[in-house]
Amino acid sequence: MDQTVTSVRTFNRFYTHRVGALNTRFLGTDLTLGEARMLLEIARAGRVLASDLRRLLDMDPAHVSRMLARFESRGWIVRHRDGTDGRARPLSLSPAGQAAFQAVDERQAEATRAMLADQDGWGRRDVAQSLALARLRLDPASGGAVAIRPFRAGDLGQIAARQALLYQQENGWGRGLEVAVLDAAAAFLRDFKPGREQCWVAELDGVAAGSVMLTDEGGGIARLRLLYVEPFARGRGIGGELIARCVAFARDCGYDRLTLWTHTVLDGARRLYARNGFRLTETAPHTVFGLPLQGETWVLDLTMPPA
């Protein structure tokens, strides 16, 4: 914890200095950073109550009132009357306020471009993904819509690494699990059969949030493999959507059965499999992952119409 706190504080000091957050003239304007943020939120909202701004920005009411009074004296905001409640006075930006907002917004965008100018596309993607991941870790609800795409270069190595780390942290599974997922990822890439096999990656704001793969086992049988969802992305239905992709793909390819191997202790995954029509057909104990576990084989009969 101490090391993490130090890292966060070090980054905060770096970034506040880099963007001039402590300057009374933010980006050469006559606004502070707080006032620039206030303009941004009013512009985004269109019409907004001062009380909503206070909650959104988590600012002291008196401080918000002083900033709004300054905006009003400059002719940047207009107060409206909505409905019959005379106390509710939504405010919006006037044309002069819109111009002030556009000016500071453009300066912020240009300053950010300058900060990233010495980064190539790879570097810019790393920065964007790292910042998005930090935000999602600290506030999972801040994520936008989930996107699911086919795998691309580099995905399988990251999938194997993430699964090895997550299963070790959450279940105490050791080297045997890491060997198994690395073998599965390598075999998938080495023997990949386009049109018969696929791997899907779920992304949340550009950050990998989970994945699954489907492989051809021969004899009309397909296998669902390496399903996982990152902790910050759970509760969004990603696991169910990834399974549904596998089932639909297997049906389209004409497979007769879709099988998978899981474990009795993985309650969440087992519920998803059952919900998607899979049935438990076999159990067997093993110690491959360094602990005594109960492995399970589940099968979905694709010759039957979907439920």
Contact 260, 217 (CB under 8 A): no
- pLDDT at residue 86 in the model: 58
- DSSP secondary-structure letter at 256? S
Rounded to an integer, what distance in angstroms lies between the CA atom of residue 111 and that of residue 114?
Answer: 5
For 44, phi then psi, to 5°, come to -65, -40
64: tokens are 């918000």
Rounded to an integer, what distance in angstroms lies between the CA atom of residue 76 and that of residue 95?
Answer: 7
- pLDDT at residue 83 in the model: 64
For tokens 């997922």, what's the residue?
181
Average pLDDT over residues 97-116: 90
* Res. 46: pLDDT tops 90: no
Number of CB atoms found within 10 A of residue 281's CB: 10
Average pLDDT over residues 71-99: 84
Three-class SS of residue 222?
A: strand
Q: Answer yes or no: pTM beyond 0.75.
A: yes
Question: What torsion, rounded to 10 degrees, do the Cα atoms 127, 133, 139, 143 define?
Answer: 90
Handedness of CA 164, 167, 171, 176 (dihedral sign): negative
- DSSP secondary-structure letter at 244? H
What does the pLDDT look like over 240-250, one tens digit per residue? 999 999 999 99
Handedness of CA 33, 34, 38, 44 (dihedral sign): positive
Q: Which domains does the chain have, with CATH numbers?
A: 2-118 (1.10.10.10), 146-301 (3.40.630.30)
- DSSP secondary-structure letter at 232? G
50: tokens are 């001062």
* Res. 84: pLDDT tops 70: no
